[in-house]
């Protein structure tokens, strides 16, 4: 392995500055997947599980969601929540002595609820997922087939966990995949930038949110 003294942030910034790097690009029809913007992960004053975020993260996500709806493109919100017994959390929930134990995110609890700052419309799709990827044992793939989606925009948290898992699954299923940089977050800077770097190199186009907004503003639904 080649040794590098660069920080994760420096590695990511170097990739971002490489204007010659090929992109997957936007396709015929995009969908927006907002991963786990729920109180357990967005409310640091309440929960130790919350992520370090761009202070405008949810505002950027809401702006994207409005444009996606206006252009007739699907908007999906996911959240993590489990049965009172925790049995649907499986092995992932067996670390019950940790403060961020997934098994303790109960359906209907404050931790499970989507952040009230999120502008969720009645036409949006809300999915209760139980594992890291938004695709795992959910109907997301069939929804995208129905809507003829070929491009997936992924926001939310955590960059190193559920966002990354969703991005890898998205690319693995043949979707062009895009991550608006200011719209994802993690608990610490190092895993955040390490995974932005890795996704940018392998799995997705990591772009400024302004570029994604600009694309959606000029986007015209395909016939």
Number of CB atoms found within 10 A of residue 85's CB: 10
- For β-strands 75-80 and 30-35, DSSP reports them as parallel
For Cα atoms 195, 206, 74, give the angle at the middle one, nearest 5 degrees: 110
For 160, residues 6+ apart whose C-beta sits below 8 A from its C-beta are 186, 191, 192, 194, 195
Per-chain mean pLDDT for the chain? 93
3-state secondary structure of 33: strand
Q: Which of 20-24, 48-52, 102-106, 148-152 is predicted most confidently?
A: 148-152
Query: For the chain, where are the alpha helices, taking DSSP H only?
Result: 8-17, 39-42, 57-70, 140-147, 164-172, 189-198, 209-218
Rounded Cα distance between 79 and 118, Å, is 12
Instruction: Residue 152: name the closest of 30, 29, 1 by CA.
Output: 30
- If you write DSSP's letter for every residue of 145-197 in order, what string do you get? HHHT--EEEEEEE-IIIIIHHHHHHHHHTT-EEEEEGGGEEBSSHHHHHHHHH
Q: Which domains does the chain have, with CATH numbers?
A: 25-218 (3.40.50.850)
The confidence band for 2, taking pLDDT boundaries of 50, 70 and 90, is low
What is the predicted pLDDT for the residue at 113? 97
What is the predicted pLDDT for the residue at 1? 46
Can you tell me the mean pLDDT for 164-170?
Answer: 98
Active-site residue set: 162
Checking if the pLDDT of 100 tops 50, the result is yes
Checking if the pLDDT of 85 tops 90, the result is no
Which tens digit of pLDDT belongs to each residue from 102-118?
767 899 999 999 999 99
Residue predicted with more confidence, 89 or 148: 148
Which tens digit of pLDDT belongs to each residue from 191-204?
999 999 999 999 99
Instruction: Residue 122: name the closest of 83, 79, 69 by CA.
Output: 69
Can you tell me the mean pLDDT for 51-61?
Answer: 94
Angle between helices 57-70 and 209-218 (to 10 degrees): 20
For 93, residues 6+ apart whose C-beta sits below 8 A from its C-beta are 82, 86, 101, 102, 103
Confirm if 130 and 36 have CB atoms less than 8 A apart. Answer: no
The confidence band for 92, taking pLDDT boundaries of 50, 70 and 90, is confident
Q: Which residues pair with 77 in a beta bridge?
A: 34, 126
Can you tell me the mean pLDDT for 202-217?
Answer: 98
Tokens, residue 100: 């961020």
Can you tell me the mean pLDDT for 15-32?
Answer: 92
Confirm if 43 and 115 have CB atoms less than 8 A apart. Answer: yes
Q: Which of 17-31, 60-74, 84-98, 110-124 has the lowest mean pLDDT?
A: 84-98
Checking if the pLDDT of 22 tops 50, the result is yes
What is the predicted pLDDT for the residue at 157? 95
């Amino acid at each position: 392995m080649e040794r590098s003294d660069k920080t994760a942030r420096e590695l990511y910034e170097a990739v971002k500055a490489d204007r010659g790097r090929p992109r997957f690009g936007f396709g015929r029809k995009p969908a927006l997947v907002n991963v786990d913007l729920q109180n357990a992960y967005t409310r640091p004053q309440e929960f130790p599980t919350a992520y370090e975020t761009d202070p405008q993260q949810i505002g950027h996500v809401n702006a994207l969601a409005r444009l996606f709806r206006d252009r007739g493109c699907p908007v999906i919100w996911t959240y993590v929540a489990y049965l009172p017994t925790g049995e649907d959390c499986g092995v992932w929930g067996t670390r019950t002595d940790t403060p961020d134990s997934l098994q303790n995110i109960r359906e209907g609890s404050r931790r499970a609820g989507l952040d009230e700052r999120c502008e969720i419309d009645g036409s949006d799709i809300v999915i209760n997922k139980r594992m890291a990827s938004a695709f795992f044992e959910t109907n997301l793939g069939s929804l995208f087939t129905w809507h003829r989606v070929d491009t997936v925009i992924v926001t939310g948290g955590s960059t190193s966990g559920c966002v990354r898992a969703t991005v890898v699954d998205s690319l693995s299923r043949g979707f062009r995949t895009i991550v608006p940089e200011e719209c994802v977050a993690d608990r610490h800077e190092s895993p955040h930038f390490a995974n932005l770097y890795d996704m940018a190199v392998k799995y997705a186009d990591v772009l400024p949110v302004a570029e994604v907004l600009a694309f959606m503003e000029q986007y015209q639904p395909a016939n």
